[in-house]
Every structure is written in structure tokens, then in C-alpha cells.
Amino acid sequence: MENRIYNEQNGLWYEKQGDYYIPCLTLPEKENQSIGVWGQRHLRYLKQHRKVLYVNLLTSGKLNSHLAEIDKQAEDMFFQLVKQMAEREGVTEQLKVDNQMEWVGRMNNIRNRAKEIVNTELIFA
């Protein structure tokens, strides 16, 4: 008896493992796009809280591109928010020259608020 058989009804190859025939399945080729911090956070969120969506993206081969897109959107949103908040609150290069500690404190505050907004609207949504 053969170790591999072809089923014409569903178009799959089966391989004999012990007493059973198991379908020979492979995942589509992965796209190699770099995933940054935001994409890694979103991946962790999907694995823990949106398991069905994670498995669907993984098996369709779209997980990497999805994470890369989320990472890019989050990065752009973060830098835009930081810039807008700094302008609105008067955190300028002149403040940085005059009082470095105040500038650092205010910029850290702005960055933390921007990070929370990005997490809420993109990463954990």
C-alpha cells in the first residue's frame, strides 16, 4: 500500500502516519516584513484576546503583512500626536535650551499620553 494517496473530491494529498492518513498541508510562503514594537504589542494582544482572528491571519498567510501595517500606522500616529501636543502645549526647542529638565518632563508626559492613545485606538482595538 502507498504511503501517499490523492483524493480527487477535495484535491488533497494524504500521507500515511501509522494507521491513519493525514492531509499534507502547508502554510503559504511568509512575507518577510520587519515588525516593530507596535506590531509586537498587537501580536501579543491577538494571541491573548483575539485567538480566532490570530489563527485566521496566520493560516491565510496575512499575519505578517497585517502586523507590519499596524506597526506603520501606529508609528505614524504616535509621531504625529507627539508633534501636535508639543506644539499645542508650547514645548519648543527654546524651552529645551532654557530649562532642560522641564522640557524632558513635559516631553515624557506628552509621549506617555500619545502612547496610551495609540494603544487604545490601534493596538488593543
Domain positions in the chain are 34-123
How large is the average pLDDT for residues 106-125? Answer: 96
| Three cell numbers, residue 46 | 491577538
Q: Cα(36)–Cα(107) distance, rounded to whole angstroms?
A: 22
Q: Taking a C-beta distance cutoff of 8 angstroms, is the pair 96, 103 a contact?
A: yes
Q: How high is the pLDDT of residue 1?
A: 53
Pick the more confident residue, 13 or 53.
Answer: 53
Closest CA to 77 of 125, 33, 43: 125
Q: What is the pLDDT of residues 86-101, one digit of tens each?
A: 999 999 999 999 999 9
Work out the mean pLDDT of the chain and round it to a whole number.
91
Q: How many CA atoms lie within 13 A of 24 on its CB side?
A: 11
Q: How high is the pLDDT of residue 100?
A: 96
Strand ranges for the chain from DSSP E:
4-7, 12-17, 20-23
| Three cell numbers, residue 15 | 500521507
Q: How high is the pLDDT of residue 88?
A: 97
Q: What pTM was computed for the model?
A: 0.73
How large is the average pLDDT for residues 119-125? Answer: 94
Q: Cα(100)–Cα(33) distance, rounded to whole angstroms?
A: 38
Question: Considering the chain, what percentage of its residues have pLDDT values greater than 90?
Answer: 68
